[in-house]
Structure 1
Amino acid sequence: MRGDFYPKGLAQKNELRFASRAVNSIEINGSFYALQTPERYADWYADTPDGFVFSVKAPRYVTHILRLREVEKPIANFFASGLFLLKEKLGPILWQFPPSFRFDPALFESFLRLLPHDSAAALEMAKGCEARMQGRSHLAIDRKRPMRHAVEIRNPSFVDPAFIELLRQYRVALVVADTAGKWPYREDLTSDFVYIRLHGAEELYTSGYTDQALERWCRRIRLWNSGSQPEDAQLITASEASPARSREVYCYFDNDVKVRAPYDARQLLRRLGLDEGLQATPGQLQEGAFA
């Protein structure tokens, strides 16, 4: 991506500073593969402007390896690893499940029951982290803040009204995931926010989004934000959890093999009228900036 989204002449140490001024939110992916450190979270906070938001991808150790069995300590380790240092910039936490993971109502509810919905509850959980976290944990919060969770599923067994009922009961969002038809696509609203992941309209992880496709997503985002549902929404259950209400919408592009993600994101922001105030333009380095 260097020399394309990141302009030539931009030092690698300034990449986050640049990216966070070209878009208004980023999904942290490294936390999926390994626990990050308090120092890294603190740097991410310092390098980004006021109003910026990070979504954080939860560890695959919980979802893909342990597969939700005996996960209380690993989840505590995750919360202890430095998330609280993002403070007001911490957005939703994404829990992604592999295609081989089938819906088990009892097991899934035991997992949802563990998820804290504010930073004070998350701190209490983090205090139960394993001894190996000593010296690489951060067990303090600046204030009590809401904490949101979103679930991305990839097995058709989740196309079950009981799954939607559980998500609504525990106020967890179902990720609206565009995967070029490879995995289930549903748009049930299960929380007070909407989480969208766009992996590619025609080819998974590689294809960009046409102007027509971006406009379609723009219309859907506006409807969800206003508390409505698209007339052609693809739902698991027709019932709604609550009366219409405004919902915050988080949308991330993960079609980055061909380096389309940041450009598609910027185009969507422009169509939504959310690009005003962004201080950086993809591929362009203003003289004297990020020195």
Structure 2
Amino acid sequence: MSIHIGIGGWTFEPWRGTFYPPKHPQKRELEYAGQHLTGIEINGTYYGSQKPESFANWAAAVPDGFQFSVKASRFCTNRKQLADGAASIEKFLTQGLTRLGDRLGPILWQFMATKKFERDDFAAFLDLLPETQDGLPLRHALEVRHESFRDPAFVELARERNMAIVFADSDEFPCIDEQTADFTYARLQRSQDDVETGYAGEALDHWAERARGWAAGGRDVYLFFIAGAKVRNPAAAQALIAKLEREP
């Protein structure tokens, strides 16, 4: 059981001088982030394929125990018939992401807000997601963003396959608070620009309690501060890490 807390990506100009020290070399930003966070959600993979060497270099830049989640290609999930995505899924999984080795955390499969739940098609899609790739075990997290997924059939599909339903704390999308896997994946999207740590103390206390509760069941926890006041997300992640370290 472990708790990984971090942000989406590591390249964002407003973080230079706020999260990263002034004049910190850009090519060493991931190394710095790896020293101050315990996880990062790689988002570039959603838009296009990456080189195997890139994954290997990213793994080498962070310390033992750090983990990346990898956002699946939009070509896998943004389609009318999900069951037709086998070729796109294979292309995504074989681009070299297993070069992350033991730094590889869950794969995030994000669906459009207009995508409705159709049980048979969704089940067929989930059956395309392998349990291993190149000898490495894979974990799959499902971020659905349409109200039709508030359906016991969807929860059961995820639970049968040990796939996590993403806990999305957002003003825009539904939050389905169901534990369906041996890990929890949360995306917190309400950071505020006028709060130095993104979230006020009481809110951080709440998320620390939730993280402990998820972990108490023996689950690994992946919690990322995403969107909202993006410039504040690294501070929010560091504040939550510090709170959990002080109050285990």
Indicate whether the TM-score tops 0.5.
yes
Question: Given the alignment, which residue of 90, 95, 105 partners 2:109?
Answer: 95
Question: Given the alignment, which residue of 141, 159, 162 partners 1:168?
Answer: 159
Alignment of 1:177-188 (within 5 A): 177-180=168-171, 182-188=172-178
- Residue 249, structure 1, aligned to residue 221, structure 2: yes
* 1:270 corresponding residue in structure 2: 242
Distance verdict in 2 for CA 1:172–1:20, change over 3 Å = same
Distance of 2:28 and 2:120 partners within structure 1: 46
Instruction: Kindly state the Cα deviation for residue 13 of structure 1 after the two structures are TM-superposed.
Output: 0.5
- Residue 154, structure 1, aligned to residue 154, structure 2: no
Distance of 2:127 and 2:149 partners within structure 1: 18
* 1:261 corresponding residue in structure 2: 233
* 1:178 and 1:201 in contact (8 A); partners too: no
RMSD: 2.0
* 1:179 and 1:201 in contact (8 A); partners too: no
* 1:86 corresponding residue in structure 2: 100
* 1:32 and 1:58 in contact (8 A); partners too: yes
**When the two structures are superposed, what TM-score results if normalisation uses the length of structure 2?**
0.88
Distance of 1:270 and 1:66 partners within structure 2: 43
* 2:63 corresponding residue in structure 1: 49
Name the larger-Rg structure. Answer: 1
Which blocks of at least 5 consecutive residues in structure 1 are unaligned? 124-143, 228-245, 276-291
* 2:198 and 2:229 in contact (8 A); partners too: no
Which blocks of at least 5 consecutive residues in structure 2 are unaligned? 1-14
- SS of 2:120's partner is helix
* 2:124 corresponding residue in structure 1: 110
Question: Given the alignment, which residue of 50, 60, 63 partners 1:36?
Answer: 50
Identity percentage of aligned residues: 43
- SS of 2:122's partner is helix
* 2:209 corresponding residue in structure 1: 219
Distance verdict in 2 for CA 1:2–1:67, change over 3 Å = farther
* 1:58 and 1:93 in contact (8 A); partners too: yes
* 2:28 corresponding residue in structure 1: 14
- SS of 2:245's partner is coil
Distance of 1:25 and 1:256 partners within structure 2: 18
Instruction: Kindly state the Cα deviation for residue 147 of structure 1 after the two structures are TM-superposed.
Output: 1.1
Distance of 2:166 and 2:55 partners within structure 1: 24
